Amino acid sequence: MNRKKKEQDKKSKKTEKGITLVALVITIVILIILATITINAAFGEGGLIEKAQQAKNLTEESTISEQEKLNSLMDEYANMMAEDEEITEPEEPVANEVNPDEPEPEKPTAEDTLKAGDYVTYPSAQGDIECRVLYDSTSEYGVQLITSACVGNDVTLGDSDFTTSMNSYNNAISTLNNAAGVYNNSDYSTARCVGSNPTTPSAEAGYYTFTEFSSSYSGKLKDADTNYETDYNQMEALEINNIADAYWLASRNVNSYSSDSYFDVRYVSTSGYVSSSKRLCGVGSRGRTNANYYSNGLRPVFTLKSGIKVTGGNGESGTPYTLGL
């Protein structure tokens, strides 16, 4: 009995050793298979190592490509900046900014710049007024500006009373010149009414003497003059006489007939022509008189002082010259 048991134990131990050896062999085989698979996966064609190398190569190529594109963009930007520097004119330095001790450039004078017909903004005592150059420095009258349009309110000359109207007629030139003087800026100019003598605005004829008939008014009313002709002819040449508004000329006119004489002050009609049909005073051969009054616009003329500066503009209607001291 014991003997059988011992033999069975021996057989059992042999069997266990046999199983253990088989398991070891199987384990080794499995490990070899796994190792083979792992090696193939890592180092074989299309393996991890190859894919890692491909990824590395792609990354390097992408980096090089991006750098080339960046370099190309930088080159284009540099070229654009160079072209802008060539096209853009350098800004002139502000006077005295670079060198505070350097004086500002001298402004041109009105005598050197303004030409007949140019547009000019005149800084009058009543505010800026648009003017035209009536005479420039090539004339014998100096540089004179005339307002482009009538200014202020109309000026009334004459009266329904004969004596008052006669005095208004006699004082017409000084009255109109004084009205123009209200707009004068004494720092820049002197002023007169258009139609007065360009050199001597107060110039006028003596008293009228009746020759057609005897009258107690002989020598009491001023005579006619031709002062207006110089200004009017120049305005007509420059085509600035017609402003679609009637305005006074500081010049008298006398119409004498066999039985009557009429005294008036010339003006430019709304059509741009000289007229003298408005009779401020009338004297008849038998001593009868008549009187009237009329209103017209005012166009001052400014004679610029020497050395007035031109500070801006180009003399055209939209950008008239501006003046300064």
What value, to the nearest 5°, has the Cα angle with vertex 36 and ends 33 and 42? 140
What value, to the nearest 5°, has the Cα angle with vertex 174 and ends 235 and 200? 60
Q: How confident is the model at residue 32 (pLDDT cuts 50, 70, 90)?
A: confident
Amino acid at 65: S
- Residue 226 above 60 pLDDT? yes
What is the pTM (predicted TM-score) of this model? 0.68
pLDDT at 6: 56
pLDDT at 86: 58
pLDDT at 293: 96
pLDDT digits (tens, 9 = 90+) for 47-57: 666 777 777 77
The residue that leads in pLDDT, 281 or 63, is 281
pLDDT at 213: 73
Give the C-alpha separation, 172 to 228, whole Å. 13
- Residue 113 above 80 pLDDT? yes
- Residue 268 above 80 pLDDT? yes
Alpha carbon 27 to its chain centroid, in Å, reads 100
Averaged pLDDT of the chain: 86
What are the extents of the domains in the chain?
110-324
CB atoms within 10 A of CB 171: 14
Q: Is 155 helix (H, G, I), strand (E, B) or coil?
A: strand
Maximum mean pLDDT: which of 30-39, 86-95, 113-122: 113-122
pLDDT at 14: 55
Q: How confident is the model at residue 34 (pLDDT cuts 50, 70, 90)?
A: confident
Q: How confident is the model at residue 126 (pLDDT cuts 50, 70, 90)?
A: very high
Alpha helical stretches, state H, the chain: 2-43, 48-87, 110-113, 162-170, 172-181, 228-238
Residue 287 is given by DSSP the state S
- Contact call for residues 264 and 248 (beta carbons, < 8 A): no
Q: How confident is the model at residue 193 (pLDDT cuts 50, 70, 90)?
A: very high
Give the C-alpha separation, 43 to 16, whole Å. 40
- Residue 177 above 80 pLDDT? yes
pLDDT at 65: 74
- Residue 84 above 70 pLDDT? no
150-155 mean pLDDT: 96
Q: Which two tokens stand for residue 50?
A: 């190859």
